[in-house]
């Protein structure tokens, strides 16, 4: 970015804050306008990127130090909250996968099912991305699968990925698959943990992960089928890629039998997953042993387990280098922004404005929140969308007397899908050579179709599926 342009974008952040205070203080109160101004500042920097995206995660702290919108303890506590512990703990648990080769084994085993036809390529890459991003953060899955796909294309004789026609649907399948797959589990990404944090703050009770899966799995299956059909309709310049199945078979064979360290890593991860989703069975016995501390405890043990190489399964040096510190700060910044919006009363004021629009049908309410959440997710990322939308959802529900649970689930479906712009996790395939114009070209109709699907499924579930509107809160 040019220095002049970068300076203008940097200056625009505080200017947006000042303009928001001047224009909306009467409607939102001064603290509310300040909180909204900080949110718009952050969204603008997220979209234009004049500074590293992680830096924007610190804006709530710096701004609140000057404006004192809410007690500072409420803001800085978000940077070490239970949700951050969950992200950190899951990272400790999966970092040894790289050194043991477990990550490659799992992905190569799934991909060895691929045949030479492009339709089978699209199908398997998409399904592998969706399934794996149910178990791991979507960023990690995309970062793991993309280089494998590029290596496969190189072996098939395509040296220049930017000019490789088969790379377009394959890399799109990975980028789109991981964003949609995040809807299947709270572990799918920081946006889900953000949404859960706001729900738990609103209800004052622990959220059970099994509730998420039971209510959103039908949507995920339906959305996967729709996305797959849409992807198979993309015009293909080449119908087959020779040698791909052989590449995966041979690469998988090179790994040999599953080794002791891999088995330990896989067992610990399965235990963590079982503990997180079986939480209702022991919540009364161990009330403090929430999923965050299940993952942290098992991740903590990796520092003590001796590997086959006679060192520890995970060293602090590896943990320090491999932990996504920037993502954690960015995620915490979204939570801190939510604290400002809630604590200032801005969410209540905005919700009141929305309620005065006189929606006469729940379908209109669903459509409004779905479109709003998706627009923010597309131009920034799902975590930002969760941080902005969830407080407004709860404020709107409180203002209108509407049950917030189905609206919250519908909103999570909306921001778990980003198809159009090369931002957030979608930037990874772009960095490996995928044409950003192709992502926009094919992503635009996919986005419209998915928005319609979320609106229809969400409305029908809210009206005709009683379980969708309730929770088994702990």
Distance, in Å, from the CA atom of 469 to the CA atom of 467, rounded to the nearest integer, reads: 5
Same domain, yes or no: 232 and 263:
yes
Q: Is residue 225 part of a domain?
A: yes
Is 464 exposed, middle or buried, given 0-12, 13-18 or 19+ CB atoms closer than 10 A? exposed
Tokens of 440: 């926009």
Q: Is residue 224 part of a domain?
A: yes
Distance from the first to the final alpha carbon of the chain: 49
Same domain, yes or no: 162 and 40:
no
Over residues 236-246, the mean pLDDT reads 72
Q: Is residue 76 part of a domain?
A: yes
Q: Is residue 26 part of a domain?
A: yes
> Residue 147 pLDDT > 70, yes or no?
yes
> Residue 435 pLDDT > 90, yes or no?
no
* Sign of the torsion formed by the C-alpha atoms of 247, 251, 256 and 262: negative
Per-residue pLDDT at 410? 96
Which residues have a Cβ under 8 Å from the Cβ of 465 and sit 6 or more positions away?
A: none
Tokens of 282: 């022991």
- The string of pLDDT tens digits covering residues 366-384 is 998 999 889 888 876 787 7
Same domain, yes or no: 135 and 282:
yes
**Strand stretches in 120-224, DSSP E:** none
Q: Is residue 474 part of a domain?
A: no
Using an 8 Å Cβ cutoff, are 80 and 216 in contact? no
Distance, in Å, from the CA atom of 212 to the CA atom of 181, rounded to the nearest integer, reads: 13
Look up the pTM and report it: 0.73
Is 207 exposed, middle or buried, given 0-12, 13-18 or 19+ CB atoms closer than 10 A? buried
Per-residue pLDDT at 133? 84
95-99, 149-153, 415-419: least confidently modelled range: 149-153
Distance, in Å, from the CA atom of 362 to the CA atom of 405, rounded to the nearest integer, reads: 14
Position with higher pLDDT, 41 vs 105: 41
> Residue 21 pLDDT > 90, yes or no?
yes
Distance, in Å, from the CA atom of 294 to the CA atom of 274, rounded to the nearest integer, reads: 10
Q: Is residue 4 part of a domain?
A: yes
Same domain, yes or no: 190 and 306:
yes
Same domain, yes or no: 117 and 35:
no
b or e along 409-446 (b: 16 or more beta carbons within 10 Å of the residue's beta carbon)? Answer: bbbbbbbbbbbbbbbbbbbbbbebbbbbebbeebbeeb
Same domain, yes or no: 76 and 19:
no
Per-residue pLDDT at 209? 84
Runs of H (alpha helix) within 233-283: 244-255, 260-277
Position with higher pLDDT, 412 vs 308: 412
Per-residue pLDDT at 309? 83
Over residues 193-208, the mean pLDDT reads 88
Same domain, yes or no: 5 and 150:
no
Domain boundary among 51, 70, 86: 51
Q: Is residue 340 part of a domain?
A: yes
Kindly compute the dihedral angle of the four CA atoms of residues 381, 424, 452, 403, in this order, to the nearest 10 degrees.
Answer: -30
Q: Is residue 182 part of a domain?
A: yes
Number of domains in the chain: 2
| Count of CA atoms in the C-beta half-sphere (13 A) of 112 | 13
Tokens of 132: 């794996």
Cα–Cα nearest to 149, from 183, 130, 122, 176: 122
Same domain, yes or no: 97 and 11:
no
Same domain, yes or no: 186 and 126:
yes
Over residues 105-118, the mean pLDDT reads 72
Per-residue pLDDT at 33? 92
Same domain, yes or no: 11 and 122:
no
pLDDT class for 302, splitting at 50, 70, 90?
very high
57-61, 83-87, 95-99, 356-360: least confidently modelled range: 356-360
> Residue 474 pLDDT > 60, yes or no?
no
Distance, in Å, from the CA atom of 32 to the CA atom of 390, rounded to the nearest integer, reads: 16
62-76, 135-149, 319-333: least confidently modelled range: 135-149
- The string of pLDDT tens digits covering residues 328-350 is 787 788 778 878 887 888 877 77
Range of the domain at 416: 52-469
Per-residue pLDDT at 243? 63
Per-residue pLDDT at 173? 94
Domain boundary among 51, 72, 92: 51
Same domain, yes or no: 155 and 117:
yes
Per-residue pLDDT at 357? 67
Using an 8 Å Cβ cutoff, are 64 and 75 in contact? yes
pLDDT class for 355, splitting at 50, 70, 90?
low
Which residues have a Cβ under 8 Å from the Cβ of 430 and sit 6 or more positions away?
A: 422, 436, 439
Cα–chain-centroid distance for residue 8? 30
Same domain, yes or no: 386 and 448:
yes
């Amino acid at each position: 970015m040019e220095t002049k342009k970068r300076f203008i974008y940097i200056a625009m952040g505080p200017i947006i804050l000042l303009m928001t205070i001047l224009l909306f203080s009467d409607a939102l109160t001064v603290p509310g306008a300040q909180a909204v101004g900080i949110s718009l500042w952050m969204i603008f920097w997220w979209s234009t990127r004049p500074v590293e995206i992680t830096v924007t995660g610190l804006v709530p702290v710096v701004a609140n130090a000057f404006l004192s919108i809410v007690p500072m303890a409420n803001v800085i506590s978000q940077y070490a909250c239970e949700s951050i512990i969950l992200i950190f703990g899951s990272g400790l648990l999966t970092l040894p996968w790289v050194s043991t080769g477990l990550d490659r084994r799992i992905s190569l085993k799934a991909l060895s099912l691929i045949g030479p036809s492009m339709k089978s390529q699209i199908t398997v890459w998409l399904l592998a991305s969706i399934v794996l991003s149910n178990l791991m953060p979507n960023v990690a899955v995309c970062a793991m699968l993309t280089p494998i796909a590029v290596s496969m294309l190189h072996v098939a004789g395509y040296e220049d990925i930017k000019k490789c026609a088969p790379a377009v649907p394959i890399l799109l399948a990975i980028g789109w698959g991981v964003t949609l797959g995040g809807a299947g589990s709270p572990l799918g990404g920081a946006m889900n943990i953000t949404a859960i944090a706001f729900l738990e703050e609103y209800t004052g009770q622990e959220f059970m992960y099994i509730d998420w899966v039971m209510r959103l799995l039908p949507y995920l299956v339906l959305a996967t089928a729709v996305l797959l059909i849409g992807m198979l309709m993309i015009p293909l310049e080449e119908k087959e890629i020779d040698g791909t199945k052989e590449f995966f078979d041979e690469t998988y064979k090179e790994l040999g039998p599953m080794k002791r360290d891999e088995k330990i890593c896989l067992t610990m991860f399965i235990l963590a997953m079982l503990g997180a989703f079986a939480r209702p069975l022991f919540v009364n016995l161990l009330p403090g042993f929430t999923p965050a501390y299940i993952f942290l405890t098992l991740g903590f043990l990796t520092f003590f387990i001796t590997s086959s190489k006679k060192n520890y399964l995970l060293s602090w040096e590896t943990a320090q280098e491999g932990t996504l510190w920037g993502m954690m700060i960015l995620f915490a910044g979204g939570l801190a922004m939510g604290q400002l919006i809630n604590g200032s009363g801005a969410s209540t004021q905005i919700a009141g404005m929305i309620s005065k629009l006189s929606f006469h049908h729940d379908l209109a309410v669903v459509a409004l929140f779905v479109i709003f959440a998706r627009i923010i997710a597309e131009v920034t990322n799902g975590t930002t969308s969760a941080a902005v939308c969830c407080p407004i959802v709860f404020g709107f529900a409180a203002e209108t007397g509407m049950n917030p649970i189905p609206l919250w689930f519908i909103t999570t479906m909306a921001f778990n899908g980003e198809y159009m712009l090369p931002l957030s996790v979608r930037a990874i395939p772009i960095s490996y050579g995928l044409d950003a114009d192709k992502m926009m070209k094919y992503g635009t109709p996919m986005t419209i179709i998915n928005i319609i699907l979320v609106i229809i499924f969400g409305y029908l579930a809210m009206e005709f599926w009683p379980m969708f509107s309730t929770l088994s809160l702990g």
